[in-house]
Amino acid sequence: ASVDDMHQERWKPSGQNHPAMLQQPRIPPTVDNSTNISRESQSIVNKEEFLRDLVEQKAKSAAIDDFDKDSNVPDGDTSCFATCTTSEMEDDLLKGTYTYEPEEGGEDNYGALTSCVGTRWYRAPELLYGSTNYGIEVDLWSLGCIFAELFSLEALFPGASDIDQLARIFNVLGNLTEETFPGCSTLPDFKMISFCKIEEPTGLDSCLPNCSPDELLIVKKLLCHDPASRATAMELLHDKYLNEEPLPVPISELRIPSSKFAVDEDSPGDFYGYQEGSSDSDLE
């Protein structure tokens, strides 16, 4: 048989007790083709190494992608009101952004904190500037955003990126300065991002035109640049808004959606198995 005929021969049974195996044509080496055979063998080895390297690189890329998703690097379209001064940024962004040096005694109380917490739309300014030294004041800011959304039925600061989020906040409340937030210049990313001065901020009154004075006041008490100026949870419990008519409805009187629980929506009934005065505490 000729060499061409041997190349066309592909599948041959290797025996009655074995399935058909792919058989490569055997060509006796000669002076002319010995070099080609050596090159083909080397090519097979190189392909195996290439595939192994490719698998390793894909695994590393996937790990980096997962890491980037949880990072605090601003993403999305940046606002036209902000410019990033790259001269103050380090070459190794990952090293500069994610290295955390706990303050003395801080780790014992809270552990190593991160600025990338909470949903962006409800994130306090100090978190957007990379602060890792914060307290429950960041939750009070989020509560103010939620109150505003409940009153207006739309998000107050729906930022597309961290920088855009800051721009939206400043457009309403004004720029972040040492006067509005003492110590803000020491925030990790404060000097890396600069914003044009907002001469006439929109104000919460314009954003919440249909709110009553009491509703507007409770939002203003929470949405303050300075964390120390935000109302505490105890102060909110004594706020006029929560202590005048209409008062909060007792849990036993809340209406149950009939579409899900097949119960008449006007019936007081139990709310998710809750009965007023009852308790599921293991201590009783």
Nearest CA to 217 out of 196, 242, 194 is that of 242
Every domain of the chain and the residues it spans: 82-99+111-252
The CA distance from 79 to 93, in Å, is 21
pLDDT value of residue 58: 76
Residue pair 156/220 in contact (Cβ under 8 Å)? The answer is: no
3-state secondary structure of 99: coil
Residue pair 118/138 in contact (Cβ under 8 Å)? The answer is: yes
Q: 163 vs 71, 192, 207, 229, CA distance in Å? A: 14, 11, 20, 23
82-99+111-252: CATH topology is Transferase(Phosphotransferase); domain 1 (1.10.510)
pLDDT value of residue 231: 93
pTM score, two decimals? 0.52
pLDDT value of residue 27: 47
3-state secondary structure of 283: coil
Nearest CA to 125 out of 101, 94, 157 is that of 157
Residue pair 161/104 in contact (Cβ under 8 Å)? The answer is: no
Q: Which residues pair with 274 in a beta bridge?
A: 271
Name 147's Cβ contacts closer than 8 Å, sequence gap at least 6.
Answer: 215, 218, 219, 222
Name 54's Cβ contacts closer than 8 Å, sequence gap at least 6.
Answer: none
pLDDT value of residue 259: 59
Burial of 175 (0-12, 13-18, 19+ CB in 10 A): buried
What is the token pair recorded at 12?
């041959």
pLDDT value of residue 95: 43
Name 239's Cβ contacts closer than 8 Å, sequence gap at least 6.
Answer: 214, 217, 218, 221, 231
pLDDT value of residue 208: 92
Tens digits of pLDDT across the chain (284 residues): 554 554 444 444 444 444 444 444 444 455 455 555 555 555 555 777 778 887 787 777 776 665 555 544 444 443 434 444 434 444 444 444 444 454 554 444 556 787 788 888 999 999 998 888 888 899 999 999 999 999 999 999 999 999 999 999 999 999 988 898 898 888 888 888 888 888 899 999 999 999 999 999 999 999 999 999 999 989 998 888 888 887 878 878 877 766 554 545 454 445 445 454 444 434 34
Residue pair 36/45 in contact (Cβ under 8 Å)? The answer is: no
